[in-house]
Structure 1
Amino acid sequence: MKYLNEHLLPGQIGHFCAVLAFVASIVATVAYAFATMVKEETVKKSWARIGRISFLIQAASVFTIMGLLYYMINHHLFEYKYVWAHSSKALDMKYLLSCMWEGQEGSFMLWSTWHSVLGIILMFRAKSWESPVMAVISFAQIFVGSMVLGIYFFDYRLGSGLFVLMRNEMEAPIFTNPNYLTQLTDGKGLNELLQNYWMVIHPPVLFLGFASTIVPFAYGIAGLWTKRYTEWVKPVLPWALFSAGILGLGIMMGAAWAYESLTFGGYWAWDPVENSSLVPWLTLVAGIHTLLAYKSTGYSLKISYFFVFITFTLVLYSSFLTKSGVLGQTSVHSFTDLGMNGQLLVFMFIFAIPAFAWLIMKRKQIPAPAREESTYSREFWMFVGSLILLIAGIQISFTTSIPVWSKLPGLENMAPPTEPVFFYNQIQIWVAIVIGLLTAVVQYLKFKNTSKQHFIKGILRPTIIAIAVTILIAIIGKINYSQYGGGYLFAIYLMLFASVYAVVANFNYLFKGKFRTSGASVAHVGFGLILLGVLISSTKKSVLSQDKMGTLDGFFTKESKENPRENLFLPKGMPVRMGDYFVTYKGDSTAPRDPKTYFIVEYERKDDPSGPAKEKFTLYPDAFLNIKGQEGITPNPASKHYWYKDIFTYVTGLPKKGAQADSIQYKQNIVATGDTIYFSKGYMILESLNSQPSNPNFKAADSVIALEATLRVKSLDGGENVLHPVYILKGEAYEYNLPDTLSQFSLAARFSKVLPDEKKVQIDIKESASVTDYVVLKAYEFPMINVLWIGIIIMTIGFFMSVGQRKREVK
């Protein structure tokens, strides 16, 4: 059948480039391998020239593929499966760019692109290390490139094709029509959670971090291969620092993305995919410290090899966990399985097994000092710190891999922790304490040996200052987190001291040397601030939207993870007290070509609803509204940023789509204490009148007299609730009232009049025939969250300062 209006040329060129890149990578690997092994200089240069040309050809092919992919997405060529599956016409241009790496095939191409960029840089900068290092990188490109080939070898498909046509991959009646493209007018679109500007910048940075870990790995292999067992340390240090800086930045960009776009109320949830990216960073940082120890003293060379090898291996393992689908039930970030599990495992083992086997075989040839390090030496405690980071990585990686272990015979009943945040925190907090303390004191030790007097003299002042600052923060900040008992609170206080100590001690050390060579101290200050920001924002995080009245009991379904007592029901136009604020839902709005609905939520900080506002601002949390019912929304938070805190808000529930606007009027009821008022689903009894209102929306103020009615509500199904409408006077005149609502009955009650002569009151009841216009809102307060973000920036600056310092040393 001849199909009409298809754009086949971009796909044909793209598939040709994918095959060309794969073949060119093989040629480059072979050529660079021979350039490494041959002795004759003329032949060596000839093979190296072939390697360079081949690698440049594969790099040009990869860049062409990425350009074609963007062209196809931007021009909405939905005949291609990848374009149809990950994009749509409604997306903004920045999100069309994000579509390139949303799918597995696109993410592999992003990885391959960064390998190509790094390889080209190394071709011109690695000098005598070019051939062995580029042989390893070219070899990696073979495997990354194979992931997007989509070529069958007998019955086995190698990779998943990036340029396959819809009609070749799916069986549907639409493809019996030669002009099927007139019906295939739009794609599935980008995942709603990914329609955020972080999706544009976070994946490229993170994948640059992942891709760059191959450079230290390649230098380690090159050192063993060429028997230059010690010479590789100096040129690898700038690359290791660059990789750690970029990977750490990419991970924390993901944390910022989660904070702004996901609704679990934080920036880190110990999600398995988050964990699998963190562990390689931990081992890489450990490796940097052992490399520095070796460079200055000759110790820790063998374990430095281990760390650079395990880091890249863990990156490959992370790719397997993320892309195999094995984490589909435990992670919000996991891809679905495309049938490439075998390839992913081969990719990992083909690098890991030879590297570690070679290290074991060559271990006796790798030089090491005969005597042990002094316990008063910097290198000893750097080694200890590296081992602590390794242990932390093992614990995180083992627990994260439980879905893998549970597939092994005899381990089927192994299950992930039911409360992962506390499970990880109760272990990792002790790691943070030890690393924080070491970060503070190690720089005051000299390499090889340090006199006790010198060490005490240097560390005494920052220690005293750190103790004083810790006590001050603990008192002023009222850090008394008691959710998990006294032992955990004790660990929190220790971590508080360790965090402050790391900042103070490194800040003090910073001024002892030249700022240009103080990258390590700057990075350590940033790391200490990260620990401090995590500690304060987590332990002092509070839920503002507390529903003490039980208004939303029964609102959420059993499948929902929302706690109804941590959400507030906001009828449109009615101020509801939330902490220090009165919050009013003003309505919603939409914009052309924007699929989100924006909810207008006004915050006013004041003593009572009718009083003047001390502060006023409006937040616009948004949501994708796709499915009927309160569970059918995909919300995105909005935040009010202060220098000392954030107020974090998102919508958790809405009326069902198609609900009519509420036009029912209040019905007046004149009642005395003990009288009954009936409504369609039950009745209520006026139990008492109280001059000390318990309604959380009321706050006492001078010259205000309040009277609260307690209405015991009993439904026909046996349920029981309480309403507390409030009648308020200022002086002797009526001022206003505060209604109270029960969302499950669409019921509102207001206390509107006192009749003293009759010893009765007027209670007005409104029972809506349909769902009213409202939102259900959740809000958190994160104190001192900016300490975390500032720490990330400072730590990244410190890493890149160190890169510059080590590059100057290489020159």
Structure 2
Amino acid sequence: MIHTTVGQLGHFFVILSFVTALVATVAYFLSALGLGKMAQAELVEEPQLAYAGESTSREANFGGKTAKRKAKPAVQNPEPPARDDWRTLARWAFYIHGAAVVGVASSLFYIIYNHYFEYHYAWSHSSRALPVQYMISCFWEGQEGSFLLWLFWNAVLGVVLTRTSSKQWEAPMLAIFALVQAFLASMILGVIFGDSFKVGSSPFLLLSEAMPDAPIFSADPNFVPKDGNGLNPLLQNYWMVIHPPTLFLGFALALVPFAYCIAGLWRNQPLEWIRPALPWTLIGGMVLGIGVMMGGYWAYETLNFEGYWNWDPVENAVYVPWLVLVAALHTMLIAKRSSAGLKMAIILTISTYVLILYSTFLSRSGILGNASVHSFTDLGLSGQLLLYLMAFIVLAVALAASKWKYIPADTDEASVYSKEFWLFIGATVLCLAAFQVIATTSIPVYNKILESFGKISNLALPADQVAHYSKFQIWFFVAIALLTGVAQYIWWRKLENKKWDALITPGILTLLISAGLIAFGEMKNPVYMALLVASIFALMTNGNILLDVIRGNYRLSGGAISHIGMALMLLGILYSAGYTKVISINNSGLLISKQEEFTKDNNKQNKENTLLWLNQPERMGQYQLTYRGQRIEARDVPGYIPRKDVEVIEGDFHGVALKDIIQDGKVYHKKGDTLALYPENTYYDVEYREPNGKIFNLYPRAQVNERMGLLASPDIRHKADRDMYTYVNSVPNPGDENKWEKTETYSVAIKDTFFLNDYVAILDDVVRTNEVEGMEIGPEDAAVRAKVRVLDKNGEHILSPAFIIKNRMVAHPAEMSDELGVRIQLNEINPQTGKFTFAVNRTQRDYIVMKAIEKPLINILWIGTLVVVIGFLIATVRRYRDFDKMKNKVA
């Protein structure tokens, strides 16, 4: 059955959201121009504008310059001001727009949740096997869903601002909000004009509409797939349920200061927008920073590049706007006292949102090609994305240029002892760090521009991106860490009378602590030493300031706490990235792999990866490692269960228990039961035995994906001072365990020696038995069992194939050993010669190639992130209260 109604309803809501966004834009624009009061303005004195310092003689103050305007004579007994009908219309249009966006989101999730695979979006991103939390992730895996998520957050914030903003700011600011919403809604509009002009990509396309040339629809126009393609296995992680919403909320929050800034310029009030925008800038910086770090933690837990940051172009495209937003925040703090600070605050606030749009263009236009593992494929929206970007660049730059004259120049030169000077320098360093990253990340864009002019560009992204970016960024953050300490002392007047004595104590403590850490930690890299000293200095200075501030008013401590968190993050990055220790050293001399991925640095890769055969212990540093076999996840069984205990039904996400499924003494399924399985992943049980005898297990996972090859994800053991990080690099090809080589036969007598798959085997004995698994032995039946002892370097294995005569029929069930890669049957007994004939098949032994590393002090990074968030929260609350008090005074 094809469910078209919900899709039609969803598409109606898309169109409604687009139209109402346009209506709200126009109505708010006209309201901002004052056209809603035009009729009343003809009867009464021209309404007073809200410029700071406006005099009763009708001189509007534009940042020190005045513009005299001739006032109209007042009429007798003026009528009360008329309602702003345009604003009323705009509000209702925006409310309907918000409701329509919710309707679109609800319709799309309804399609995904109910497995309506006749829709292309549901078929492409979902499947029946996914639990609900991953169905939520399916919602924003595709471009259309992520645009919709962005629309939703903007709509929520827009509604909040209509209820909380003062009348003077609502119309010009919400006009910008509504215009942004119109552009975003157009991205999912899915309307085609003529033969080829397409506006947006609809998430409500049917499969038959998205793939009209597919042969199946010629044979059956009503064909509906039984299941979908499923969610990318790398996205099947709880962080991907919360990371994208957080990141897009950060994008939406960055729109608020941008809208205030544009509104302030529009109203010829280039300074007044700072106060209401500041709390939003703080919370936007906090949420966007959390989103970035969530992405880093997801990468750390899910990807196998051994860290949380790989300088991928899409990672960079989100990191850069956050840096610029933090820089804008610092310039906003000095805007009241510094013309340069105000100008830079305007430039950086505009730049932050433009960079968010630019990052969207980079990741969704397809321009990055194969340069990023995160980028979306081009849905034909690159032209719209470019238009979206250019429209706001032109709007913001033109408006700022036309209003620049209203910003006065500073009368005094900035002193090196002024807080404005140091905050300005800090913001400049942040911008330089952002520029270095975005300049390199944009290389594919440069190439595309040159190609459009018929030129061929040989520019390429750095081969080793981590080394390229890190060698610059580390020095930028050395400077930033030092600046946070000095700036805090300047801010809190600790360096009065132009004396630097107050920095002597934290300076001495910094040198002593750093010297101890360098000496005892055997730190030899001078670059690392510089970052260590700068980070400790930031801790000492900001810690001292924090103690003083808390004694007075803890509400003022947000800046110091954020800077302490930043210093902790730098220390965590320094030790976890700079002093990662590989413990899976290959001392066997074996060439583990000749695969293509090892050719770049073959010697290093072979040295840092260990080959583990099933159930054969290997020494690795202080640990003894044993690979214990493949594991899978059942939906109603805690932990992992051996894969060999379940016959997996391919494509059905179910399996049949081959034996009782028991965990912690509890029987969850009896032999023969059907149990529901999680899809996609196989886990590899690696047992670690510590020198004290304590054992812990890690379960790195891997999936052989038809589209993406071997997808390996690590498992991590978290300790207070370090993480043990383990992942697999190579596993046997799926199905190889069922590929047996041709049968070999051996006729041996008791105590004879023969070879099984390169192992020495001895037939110790053949004895009568009354117990054979899966078969009942009656009094008229006969059964014997051989005892074959197989020797290897770590000990011996016992194989016991049976020979059964039951109801005058002969049976010889095989016994298999995964450790040995052997299947053996006792096929014949010859009483005359005293020999026993065995049939033997060999297969690929189960193994993994794995890498294990220790990442010291990585928890300091995550603790530092939390401390930064706390600092931002305290500062946000304080600035919001300040603004609220000021608003109440004005009211």
TM-score (ref. length: structure 1): 0.83
Q: Per the alignment, do residues 208 and 10 of structure 1 end up closer, same or farther by CA in structure 2, a change over 3 Å counting?
A: same
Which amino acid is the alignment partner of residue 238 of structure 1?
Answer: P
| Secondary structure class of the residue paired with 1:407 | helix
Which amino acid is the alignment partner of residue 878 of structure 2?
Answer: Q
Q: 1:658 aligns with which of 735, 739, 756?
A: 735
Q: Distance in 2 between matches of 1:582 and 1:778?
A: 14
Shift of 1:659: 2.5
Which amino acid is the alignment partner of residue 228 of structure 1?
Answer: Q
Shift of 1:341: 0.6
Deviations 1:105-133 (A, max 9, x none): 00000000000011011111111311111
What is aligned with 1:142? 182
Residues 526 and 791, structure 1, Cα contact 8 Å, conserved in 2? yes
What is aligned with 1:467? 511
Q: Distance in 2 between matches of 1:223 and 1:242?
A: 20
What is aligned with 2:682? 597
Q: Distance in 1 between matches of 2:375 and 2:204?
A: 23
Q: Distance in 2 between matches of 1:577 and 1:54?
A: 69
1:32 aligns with 2:28: yes
Q: Distance in 1 between matches of 2:756 and 2:630?
A: 31
Shift of 1:299: 4.8
1:336 aligns with 2:413: no
Shift of 1:736: 11
Q: Distance in 1 between matches of 2:9 and 2:428?
A: 49
Deviations 1:340-379 (A, max 9, x none): 1110011011001221122122212113322211011111
Which amino acid is the alignment partner of residue 616 of structure 1?
Answer: I
Which amino acid is the alignment partner of residue 603 of structure 1?
Answer: Y
Matches within 5 A, 1:665-704: none
Residues 747 and 768, structure 1, Cα contact 8 Å, conserved in 2? no
Q: Distance in 1 between matches of 2:138 and 2:263?
A: 37
What is aligned with 2:528? 492
Deviations 1:269-299 (A, max 9, x none): 1100000000001111111101001235565
Q: Distance in 2 between matches of 1:263 and 1:449?
A: 47
Deviations 1:167-198 (A, max 9, x none): 0121212213456445x111111111111111
Which amino acid is the alignment partner of residue 276 of structure 2?
Answer: P
What is aligned with 2:588? 549
Q: Distance in 1 between matches of 2:410 and 2:489?
A: 23
Shift of 1:776: 1.1
Q: 1:420 aligns with which of 450, 465, 468?
A: 465
What is aligned with 2:805? none
Residues 379 and 448, structure 1, Cα contact 8 Å, conserved in 2? no
| Secondary structure class of the residue paired with 2:548 | coil
Q: Per the alignment, do residues 495 and 180 of structure 1 end up closer, same or farther by CA in structure 2, a change over 3 Å counting?
A: same
Q: Distance in 2 between matches of 1:660 and 1:47?
A: 73
What is aligned with 2:2? 6
Deviations 1:305-347 (A, max 9, x none): 0000000000000000000111131111110010111100110
Matches within 5 A, 1:571-610: 571-590=613-632, 591=634, 592-595=676-679, 596-606=681-691
Q: 2:366 aligns with which of 313, 325, 342?
A: 325
| Secondary structure class of the residue paired with 1:598 | strand
Q: 1:512 aligns with which of 540, 548, 557?
A: 548
1:60 aligns with 2:99: yes
Q: Per the alignment, do residues 559 and 768 of structure 1 end up closer, same or farther by CA in structure 2, a change over 3 Å counting?
A: farther
Which amino acid is the alignment partner of residue 35 of structure 1?
Answer: S
1:790 aligns with 2:829: no
TM-score (ref. length: structure 2): 0.76
Residues 147 and 158, structure 1, Cα contact 8 Å, conserved in 2? yes
Residues 757 and 842, structure 2, Cα contact 8 Å, conserved in 1? no
Shift of 1:144: 0.4
Residues 330 and 423, structure 2, Cα contact 8 Å, conserved in 1? yes
Matches within 5 A, 1:747-762: none
What is aligned with 2:395? 354
Matches within 5 A, 1:698-717: none
Residue-pair matches, total: 702
Residues 291 and 301, structure 1, Cα contact 8 Å, conserved in 2? yes
Which amino acid is the alignment partner of residue 509 of structure 1?
Answer: I
Q: Which runs of 5+ in 1 are unaligned?
A: 481-488, 607-612, 668-677, 682-724, 728-734, 738-745, 749-766
Q: Distance in 1 between matches of 2:106 and 2:411?
A: 55
Shift of 1:599: 1.3
Q: Per the alignment, do residues 297 and 450 of structure 1 end up closer, same or farther by CA in structure 2, a change over 3 Å counting?
A: farther
Q: Per the alignment, do residues 575 and 423 of structure 1 end up closer, same or farther by CA in structure 2, a change over 3 Å counting?
A: same
1:641 aligns with 2:712: no
1:77 aligns with 2:77: no
What is aligned with 2:209? 168
| Secondary structure class of the residue paired with 2:373 | coil
| Secondary structure class of the residue paired with 2:697 | strand
Residues 339 and 407, structure 2, Cα contact 8 Å, conserved in 1? no
Q: Distance in 2 between matches of 1:221 and 1:646?
A: 47
Residues 373 and 448, structure 1, Cα contact 8 Å, conserved in 2? no
Q: 1:775 aligns with which of 843, 848, 855?
A: 848
| Identity within the alignment, % | 41
Q: Distance in 1 between matches of 2:19 and 2:191?
A: 13
Residues 229 and 366, structure 1, Cα contact 8 Å, conserved in 2? yes
Q: 1:252 aligns with which of 284, 287, 293?
A: 293
Which amino acid is the alignment partner of residue 360 of structure 1?
Answer: A
| Secondary structure class of the residue paired with 1:295 | coil
In our comparison, the structure showing a higher alpha carbon Rg is 2
1:381 aligns with 2:454: no
Which amino acid is the alignment partner of residue 30 of structure 2?
Answer: F
What is aligned with 2:47? none
Q: Distance in 2 between matches of 1:156 and 1:560?
A: 46
Deviations 1:466-522 (A, max 9, x none): 222211222222223xxxxxxxx2221111111111122111111111222211111
Q: Per the alignment, do residues 359 and 554 of structure 1 end up closer, same or farther by CA in structure 2, a change over 3 Å counting?
A: same
What is aligned with 1:100? 139
Q: 1:89 aligns with which of 113, 128, 146?
A: 128
Q: Per the alignment, do residues 639 and 558 of structure 1 end up closer, same or farther by CA in structure 2, a change over 3 Å counting?
A: closer
1:112 aligns with 2:191: no
Q: Per the alignment, do residues 560 and 157 of structure 1 end up closer, same or farther by CA in structure 2, a change over 3 Å counting?
A: farther
What is aligned with 1:529? 568
Which amino acid is the alignment partner of residue 401 of structure 1?
Answer: S
Which amino acid is the alignment partner of residue 315 of structure 1?
Answer: I
What is aligned with 2:410? 369
1:570 aligns with 2:591: no
What is aligned with 2:641? none
Q: Distance in 2 between matches of 1:524 and 1:149?
A: 44
Shift of 1:660: 3.8
Shift of 1:452: 4.9
Residues 377 and 449, structure 1, Cα contact 8 Å, conserved in 2? no
Q: Per the alignment, do residues 237 and 560 of structure 1 end up closer, same or farther by CA in structure 2, a change over 3 Å counting?
A: farther
Q: Which runs of 5+ in 2 are unaligned?
A: 41-80, 635-675, 747-754, 759-791, 798-818, 822-839, 885-891
Which amino acid is the alignment partner of residue 218 of structure 2?
Answer: T
1:224 aligns with 2:265: yes
| Secondary structure class of the residue paired with 1:511 | helix
